[in-house]
């Protein structure tokens, strides 16, 4: 091994460790994934739900909230009386604040409420996430192929029904001389994919892992760095709702890179 190769490998590992430190800081933020304590689908009739102050119900596309005297806030505005919000076109997981809690709201024809509590045991008792050692051999080149027209993909979910996601296209890549294809979904950071492989349910989370796909270059080339494959939120506790890798994203080989199953995973 030459000195240049050694230096390149050391830089790769250093950059990966810096990225890992930032990711685990994101995980342990007060109102992040590890702070989730409950999820609730809102019903048409006003009702109290576990872990949620006030009354909540749905009428058409509107979410109705009766704080019952408690000060809540949404979009920087505080309210203590009944408020109707139409969040059907809002981004997923918009937040309402109630005391020291945050309630994430996502619309899927029915409103889903996710309670974030900084005192959640998954957060306060966080012991890190095991990973495979970083390996440059798991940085693969792929080719992005955009769909000719707007397209969606339906993904099953852990703990609930399937949901539809916008799909910008697919990516083709080669491993061990064989071509493979991953269906992509749109994400806040551009593109992502949920995949599984032969480590799923063994050393990695059974439902699959996620991988962010960077923007392709002018030739459609993308980089798939499987060292940055991440667990889904439901790998940390059995409360969040997570997509499952679709059949076309179930890779027939072991991706021994990225995050492994968390030590206290419910799965």
Task: Give yes or no: residues 151 and 182 share one domain.
Answer: yes
Residue-level pLDDT at 5: 47
Instruction: Provide the pLDDT for residue 237.
Output: 79
Q: Do 144 and 245 fall into the same domain?
A: yes
Q: What is the pLDDT of residue 78?
A: 96
CB 244 within 8 A of CB 231: no
Which segments of the chain have a pLDDT < 70? 1-8, 159-161, 240, 266-267
Distance between CA atoms of residues 171 and 167, nearest Å: 11
> Bridge partners of 188?
none
Shared-domain flag, residues 88 and 60: yes
138-168 pLDDT tens trace: 999 999 999 988 788 888 777 666 778 889 9
**Domain membership flag for residue 87:** yes
> How many CB atoms are located within 10 Å of the residue 12 CB?
16
Pair 87, 46 in one domain: yes
20 is a domain residue: no
Domain count, the chain: 2
User: Which pTM was predicted?
Assistant: 0.85
pLDDT digits (tens, 9 = 90+) for 180-196: 999 999 877 779 999 99
Tell me, yes or no, whether 162 and 107 share the same domain. no
On whether both 145 and 229 belong to a single domain, the answer is yes
Same domain, 134 and 244: yes
Q: What is the pLDDT of residue 238?
A: 74
Q: What is the pLDDT of residue 240?
A: 67
DSSP string, the chain: --HHHHHHHHHHHHHHHHHHHHHHHHHTSTTSGGGEEEEEEPPSS-EEETTEEEEEEEETTEEEEE-TT--EEETTEEESS-EEEE-TTSPTTEEEEETTEEEEEEEESEEEEEEE-TT-HHHHT-----BPPP-GGGEEEEEEEEEEEEEEEEEEEETEEEEEEEEEEEEEEEETTEEEEEE-EEETTEEEEEEB-TTBTTTB-TT-EEEEEPPP-TT-EEEEEGGG-EE-GGGT-S-S-EE---GGGB-SS----SB---TT---
Please indicate, yes or no, whether residues 139 and 225 belong to a single structural domain of this protein: yes
């Amino acid at each position: 091994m030459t000195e240049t190769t050694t230096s390149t490998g050391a830089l790769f590992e250093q950059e990966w460790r810096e990225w890992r430190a930032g990711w685990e800081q994101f995980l342990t933020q007060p109102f992040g994934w590890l702070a989730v304590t409950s999820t609730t689908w809102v019903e048409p009739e006003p009702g109290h739900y576990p872990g949620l102050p006030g009354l909540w119900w749905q009428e058409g596309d509107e979410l109705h909230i009766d704080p019952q005297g408690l000060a809540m806030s949404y979009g920087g505005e505080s309210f203590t009386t009944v408020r109707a919000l139409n969040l059907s076109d809002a981004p997923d997981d918009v937040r309402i604040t109630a005391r020291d809690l945050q309630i994430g709201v996502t619309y899927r024809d029915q409103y889903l409420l996710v309670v974030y509590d900084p005192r959640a045991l998954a957060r306060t008792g966080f012991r890190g996430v095991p990973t495979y050692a970083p390996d440059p051999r798991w940085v693969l080149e792929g080719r992005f192929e955009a769909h000719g027209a707007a397209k969606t993909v339906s993904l099953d979910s852990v703990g609930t029904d399937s949901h539809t996601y916008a799909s910008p296209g697919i990516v083709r890549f080669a491993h061990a001389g064989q071509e493979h294809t991953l269906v992509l979904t749109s994400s806040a950071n551009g593109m992502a994919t949920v995949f599984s492989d032969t480590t799923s349910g063994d050393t990695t989370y059974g439902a699959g892992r996620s991988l962010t796909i960077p923007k392709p270059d002018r030739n459609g080339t993308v980089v798939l760095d499987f060292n940055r494959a991440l667990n889904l939120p439901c790998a940390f506790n059995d409360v969040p709702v997570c997509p499952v890798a679709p059949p076309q994203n179930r890779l027939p080989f072991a991706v021994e890179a990225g995050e492994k199953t968390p030590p206290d995973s419910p799965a």
